[in-house]
Structure 1
């Protein structure tokens, strides 16, 4: 039986991908951080679906998950690994605490490499595939999202290097680049933006308060009308099962359009477009 490990399956893209692959008959090892999230996911899937505790920032957690999967799959190895875990912090870079920035890179970038290194021997045994869930934000940065942009830009570069290194070993690497995806993000983003706004010094609130609230509202609105997570799950399925998998999968509302504009327009024009799309403006 083909086996796949997915991180970050409690909600959204990860959950949809886990259930889609489970429905195809794969043995899905679904990474969650809390047992109750695993129970909720398992109630929606088949008996094959196996929740596994994976905290991508905790080496012991990753090692324990790897040992469990290795024991189950044996010499057959691992068909696929989907790196989906992630989070974001909306805050002006000028006031972003460095320990928070480092923590975000650990969750959104370094943790992905840690998981890849742990499961790579199993992937090589099966000539499996790695799918890294990045974002349009991995190629087009947004204001007040420095953590997210830096990590996703890094994930794009990491994926390129891995594709060149692992391709000759029989392990294909693909990147998923979602645009606006409907999720629980709106409420969370607005709460996080409000929390960070309260932590800023008065100068920071005066300079960025209106912009931070505007971006949270704009992105939140787009997320409520964005593409369903199933659209991204379909790309994950294709990347893992197609005889001709792509290198990149821009999917979801606005993704292809924004990346096309990024490719053909000058940076100054893109700055205007991004500012308009995110609701960001420094004008009074």
Structure 2
């Protein structure tokens, strides 16, 4: 999977750049004269973003669950940036499967980890040679909920928490090579809207009467909240904050990229377990 795009400035890779938050980040960096590479779900997304960015964003349709495909794509990008190396890697892993854990199949959990963890690790490792050349930076997009899971979010936040732990390990191992690693937490990952609502609707449809008695009311409240979230789209302010974190000289190892995430992270640090349980209940809605 070779790219014919040749580097003429600082470079960045953004996974999941075809839509939502990833798209806004890619456009924000392109506006700052970065050459942007990334992944999309379709050629339509890739062509649309190339046009919108006036040719400064080049996306490939890449299955992050396939290590060979990731390696081929990374090799093409690394060839394109050449001896200058890669300045920034922004890793967005957003496979979400909200459901009561009792009702989640082992295969669905495996799929979530394939994308969010193994896919994320494959991307990071594939670009490390190019990042070493440039003494670059890795920005791992995460969710505040990886610190304190919400109702019906266990699988998703478990995989996010795993990537947060890997990011911490990478930070220690890559510091000698001049590579920064940052975990950037937001209040809700941008894919939460339509993808998560569809997943919950499938769970709701397949529940037994007993499961519906146990989980039905709260599940429908979560569906309503997620549908509202999806209608809002990816906030431009969040993308702008990611862009700033990516390019500013000195950054903390962990940062919140929206006000809601900052407030929630403060609650996690300062509140008791009982207070956090009450907060989770308010976020999920009444049973």
TM-score for the superposition, normalised by structure 1: 0.92
Distance in structure 2 (CA, Å) of the matches to 1:225 and 1:254:
15
Matched, 1:247 2:253: yes
Among residues 220, 244, 247, which one is paired with 2:227 in the alignment? 220
Among residues 114, 117, 120, which one is paired with 1:109 in the alignment? 117
- Across the aligned residues of Structure 1 and Structure 2, the Cα RMSD in angstroms comes to 1.8
Distance in structure 2 (CA, Å) of the matches to 1:127 and 1:160:
17
Among residues 263, 271, 276, which one is paired with 1:265 in the alignment? 271
Distance in structure 1 (CA, Å) of the matches to 2:147 and 2:231:
23
Q: What residue number does 1:132 align with?
A: 140
Query: What SS is found at the alignment partner of 2:193?
Result: helix
Matched, 1:209 2:216: yes
Distance in structure 2 (CA, Å) of the matches to 1:280 and 1:111:
36
Matched, 1:256 2:267: no
Query: Could you tell which deviates more after superposition, 96-105 or 184-193?
Result: 184-193
- Structure 1 residue ranges without an equivalent (≥5): none
Conserved? CA contact 1:130–1:172, under 8 Å: yes
Q: CA deviation at 1:280?
A: 4.9
Counting matched residue pairs gives 279
Distance in structure 2 (CA, Å) of the matches to 1:17 and 1:123:
19
Conserved? CA contact 2:242–2:257, under 8 Å: no
Describe the superposition over 1:240-271 as per-residue Cα deviations: whole angstroms up to 9, x where unpaired: 21111222221225111111111011112101
Conserved? CA contact 1:211–1:280, under 8 Å: yes
TM alignment of 1:73-88, pairs within 5 A = 73-88=81-96
TM alignment of 1:4-15, pairs within 5 A = 4-15=12-23
Distance in structure 2 (CA, Å) of the matches to 1:188 and 1:48:
28
- The 3 A distance-change label for structure 1 pair 17 and 73 is same
Q: What residue number does 2:3 align with?
A: none
Distance in structure 2 (CA, Å) of the matches to 1:280 and 1:158:
35
Conserved? CA contact 2:187–2:261, under 8 Å: yes
Q: What residue number does 1:21 align with?
A: 29
Q: CA deviation at 1:184?
A: 7.0
TM alignment of 1:1-284, pairs within 5 A = 1-180=9-188, 185-222=192-229, 224=231, 228-281=234-287
- Structure 2 residue ranges without an equivalent (≥5): 1-8
- The 3 A distance-change label for structure 1 pair 243 and 29 is same
Distance in structure 2 (CA, Å) of the matches to 1:17 and 1:207:
40
Describe the superposition over 1:185-233 as per-residue Cα deviations: whole angstroms up to 9, x where unpaired: 434433321111122333222211111111121243355458x532222
Distance in structure 1 (CA, Å) of the matches to 2:54 and 2:286:
44
Describe the superposition over 1:81-140 as per-residue Cα deviations: whole angstroms up to 9, x where unpaired: 111131211211011100100100111122111110111011011100000000111212
TM-score for the superposition, normalised by structure 2: 0.91
Distance in structure 2 (CA, Å) of the matches to 1:168 and 1:193:
44
Describe the superposition over 1:17-40 as per-residue Cα deviations: whole angstroms up to 9, x where unpaired: 000011111110021131111012
Conserved? CA contact 1:7–1:54, under 8 Å: no
